[in-house]
Amino acid sequence: MSADLAESLARMGIRDPRVLEAVAEVPREAFVPERLRGEADADRPLPIGHGQTISQPLVVAFMTERLGLTGSERVLEIGTGSGYQTALLARLALEVFSIEIIPELSARAAAALAAQGIRNVHLRVGDGAAGWPEAAPFDRILVTAAAPEVPDALVAQLRAAGRLIAPVGEVEELQQLRLVEKGAAGTTLATDLLPVRFVPLTHAGSGADDLR
């Protein structure tokens, strides 16, 4: 089924062969609730509980492609969710640090990632807007929940020559998927890529907990 999804995404414009290979290798059905597994390869978001969704495959692949991963990067992901995007990043990067604010989702994602034999991922329960400062800087940062602006803490944790992708805008409105590129001198260039709709980036009132 995942091979069919990869072929479908290629027809829709995804070109990076490494991204398409990762999509073909990672079974999306392993990251959705059992009752929805028959719909796993549909190009639409699906509910995963707690008011959250697993994103539309085309958007996931587009965001991943625009990160420009070569296999040597350390990536910070904000919003582990189901763990599907995490699994793709893990196959394309050297190391992934992923933060999820909902403990139940983080635990479920940890189990799904372990079942897929993925070992180069570090998970944390906490406020994604604060990032993971003790592990910074990161070569790439991917945010999978929307905020009115890209959090300053995340931009600060992006390495020079790094890339950050995040949905920006109000929750009730159409958002923009924004690419932020940081120059060698620390200056940033922001480019809006396409309109999207993501769940909101929520904030925690307590500290973070590492899971592995």
Rounded CA separation 123/137 (Å):
17
Rounded CA separation 7/24 (Å):
8
Q: Give all strands (DSSP E) within 51-173, no chain letters.
A: 52-54, 74-78, 95-100, 121-125, 138-143, 158-168
Within a 13 Å sphere around the CA of 97, how many CA atoms are in the beta-carbon half?
23
Is the distance from CB of 76 to CB of 130 less than 8 angstroms? no
Catalytic residue among 55, 82, 98, 106: 55
Rounded CA separation 74/137 (Å):
8
Rounded CA separation 55/29 (Å):
13
190: closest CA among 200, 174, 179, 206? Answer: 179
93: closest CA among 116, 114, 77? Answer: 77
Q: End-to-end distance of the chain based on CA atoms, in angstroms?
A: 30
Active site residue 2: no
Residues with catalytic function: 55
